[in-house]
A and B are shown apart, each in its own frame.
Chain A
Amino acid sequence: MTGVVADNAQRDTVLDVSLVRKNFAGLVALDGVSLQLGRKEILGLIGPNGAGKSTLFNIIAGTLKPTSGTVTFRGRNITGLPPNRVCRLGIARTYQIPKPFLDMTVLENVYIAESFGSGRDSKVGTPAEICDLVGLKDKMHLEAGMLNVSGKKRLEVARALATSPDVLLLDEIAAGMSPTEGEWAVRFMEKMSQSYDLSIIWVEHVMRLLMKGVHRVVVLDHGVKIAEGRPEEVVNDEKVQQAYLGGKLS
């Protein structure tokens, strides 16, 4: 199997996105984007609105099929697999606009994710423990619809963690959280990544926060990867500055 060979060769690459291209009715949303995610790595994915970040997430998660290019997860080609298969293989995601099961309690939300997510016991813990971890312990029995924005974002994270993922796709988790909560999120992700062998791709608009939390940054603009590297390098990149029109990055 070539997959096994690849796995041996690049033991540290968990997720490999290669030359992914996506057209929507003639519009190019992604134009040959490649990126690699290492084990226990937290990768920041940034770019102005319409850069193609969400499209890339949807392609990795299986919601969209790429026009061309491949997504390889731990040596296995997962391009075009349906989202439920992708999730069961070990890639979990959150939504930018939280999409919980509104009429279920927080605990039930997490429980469902745990029981369908990976098909094995969660490596993170029981549903109640996960609720505790993300700080929703006292709201466990509230219906998800009753949570505030911050609570819903925490629930997104809890639900994703409950599926026992190896790769976590975080979509603007800190947006809607207070600065203190944001700090917590950064520390939390750091901890999760280390304790549970979790690799993370993190899209965030609150740059200041993101720069603290991630090991590496990939910058997209108009569907093209324009920069990649350590946060401080990327911030000073000319093309990135241009893309953001006036250095909003600092």
Chain B
Amino acid sequence: MLKGYLLVHKKNFVRDVVPWVGALVVLAFAPYFVSASLRSFLLFLLMWIALSQSFNIFTGLTGYVNFGFVAFYGLGGYGMTMTLLSLNIPIYAAMVIGGVISSLFAFAISWPTLRLRGAYFAIAMLSLAQALFVIFDNWNFVNSATGYTIPVKYYDPVLQYYYMLAVAAVTVLCLYVIMNSRLGLALKAIKQNEETAVSIGINATFYKAVAFGISAFFAGLAGGAATWTITIIDPPSAFDTTITLTAISMSMLGGLGTIAGPIIGAVILYSIEHYFGLTLPYLHLIVFGIIIIVVVLLIPQGIMGEIISRMKKSRRQEVGEEG
């Protein structure tokens, strides 16, 4: 257990938790008072929150950029669909199986890939995801290029909304728990200096693999829920690199390694994409590009990262005065 006095933010249950619970309650009752199209907007916003947050669980906490993130999403989607269609089990069970499959894949590839660092890791993961795409496209076991369609009997937009809300909420909660656990502490150390972390007894290989697996699990859950909503899964949509890039952009804009950051990023970027995408299809790419460039040049830590570092700065001055 952590000793409270060491944490940057000491738990204050009321102040810390109330806004989150409030947001959750608002979202939980949203289907009763918003239009169906807004509900559909919120559903996909929640999907992006879940995705950028599960991206954040690994990349934000360890600093390893996972450019093959979409592989987890796609495997979760395929796992969910195939178990649902063949075993005829409840959707939530199929989703969990999808998450587990994705997670097992992450563990399996963690040994070779997590030894690589920086650009090598990024490129290796990007290639792995691309290779998965090509393999699935040719693999009859997964219906090759044709993929699967979820039968109409499973269509239920309100239920889909609640499932996605649950996935997003659990992902955020999990990130919160991780960040305040021994695992989070170890990852924080690994991110800042892996060599030192290892030298004080932290088993970096193990903790990184665990974070990788957890990230994959939630991305897989989100992939399953998304596939159920989209009703169709085929290799180009399941392993679309754009999903990785969007998750990266969202968590970066908001601030990697923070809880609120990826959520803010998802809200901003998905809104932009939704509005501009509907009316001016290419303009949103231009806006996306400019936002990323501006963020990297001006606020490389993202919106939340910037807020936190300013907070720290003011605290530092305070400490300086006291000392």
B201 touches A100 (CB 8 A): no
Q: Which of A38-46, A103-111, A236-244 is the interface stretch?
A: A103-111
Chain B 150-171 interface mask (CB, 8 Å, partner A; 1/0): 0000000000000000000000
Residues of B within 8 A of A115 (CB): 182, 185
A92 touches B323 (CB 8 A): no
Residue of B nearest to A118 (CB): B201
Q: Give CA–CA (A138, B320) in the complex, Å.
A: 10
B199 touches A111 (CB 8 A): no
Contact of A146 among B199, B200, B203, B316 (CB under 8 A): B316
Residues of B within 8 A of A127 (CB): 6
Q: A63-B199, A117-B200, A142-B323 are in contact. List 19 more A-B contacts (CB 8 A).
A: A84-B202, A84-B204, A87-B200, A88-B201, A95-B196, A101-B188, A101-B189, A101-B193, A101-B196, A102-B192, A104-B192, A107-B6, A111-B3, A111-B6, A112-B185, A112-B188, A117-B201, A118-B201, A127-B6
The answer to whether A184 has its CB under 8 Å from any CB of chain B is: no
Chain A 75-115 interface mask (CB, 8 Å, partner B; 1/0): 00000001111011000110100011111100110011101
Residues of B within 8 A of A93 (CB): 199
In chain B, positions 250-275 with a C-beta closer than 8 Å to chain A are: none
Residues of A within 8 A of B82 (CB): none
The answer to whether A116 has its CB under 8 Å from any CB of chain B is: yes
B196 touches A100 (CB 8 A): yes
Chain B 198-211 interface mask (CB, 8 Å, partner A; 1/0): 11111111000000
Q: How far is the CB of A7 from chain B (nearest CB, A)?
A: 23
Q: Give CA–CA (A84, B196) in the complex, Å.
A: 10
For this complex, 9 residue pairs linking A to B, each with C-beta atoms less than 8 Å apart, are A87-B200, A93-B199, A99-B193, A100-B196, A102-B193, A112-B202, A127-B6, A163-B200, A163-B201
Known: A84-B198, A113-B200, A118-B201. A142 touches B316 (CB 8 A): yes
Residue of A nearest to B190 (CB): A101
A139 touches B323 (CB 8 A): yes
The answer to whether A190 has its CB under 8 Å from any CB of chain B is: no
Residues of A within 8 A of B189 (CB): 101, 112, 116
The answer to whether B16 has its CB under 8 Å from any CB of chain A is: no
Residues of A within 8 A of B3 (CB): 111
Q: How far is the CB of B249 from chain A (nearest CB, A)?
A: 23
Chain A interface residue count, CB cutoff 8 Å, equals 38
Residues of A within 8 A of B6 (CB): 107-108, 111, 127
Q: Give CA–CA (A142, B198) in the complex, Å.
A: 23
Q: Give CA–CA (A82, B193) in the complex, Å.
A: 16
Residues of A within 8 A of B312 (CB): 143
B319 touches A141 (CB 8 A): yes
Chain A 46-87 interface mask (CB, 8 Å, partner B; 1/0): 000000000000000101000000000000000000111101
Q: Give CA–CA (A82, B115) in the complex, Å.
A: 14
The answer to whether A159 has its CB under 8 Å from any CB of chain B is: yes
Q: How far is the CB of A250 from chain B (nearest CB, A)?
A: 34
The answer to whether B46 has its CB under 8 Å from any CB of chain A is: no
Known: A107-B6, A142-B319. A159 touches B193 (CB 8 A): no
The answer to whether B100 has its CB under 8 Å from any CB of chain A is: no
The answer to whether B186 has its CB under 8 Å from any CB of chain A is: yes
Q: Give CA–CA (A99, B201) in the complex, Å.
A: 15
Q: Give CA–CA (A117, B188) in the complex, Å.
A: 15
Residues of A within 8 A of B204 (CB): 84
Residues of A within 8 A of B185 (CB): 112, 115-116
5 nearest A-B pairs in the assembled complex, by CB-CB distance: A87-B201, A101-B192, A113-B200, A99-B196, A88-B201
Q: How far is the CB of A203 from chain B (nearest CB, A)?
A: 16
A92 touches B200 (CB 8 A): yes
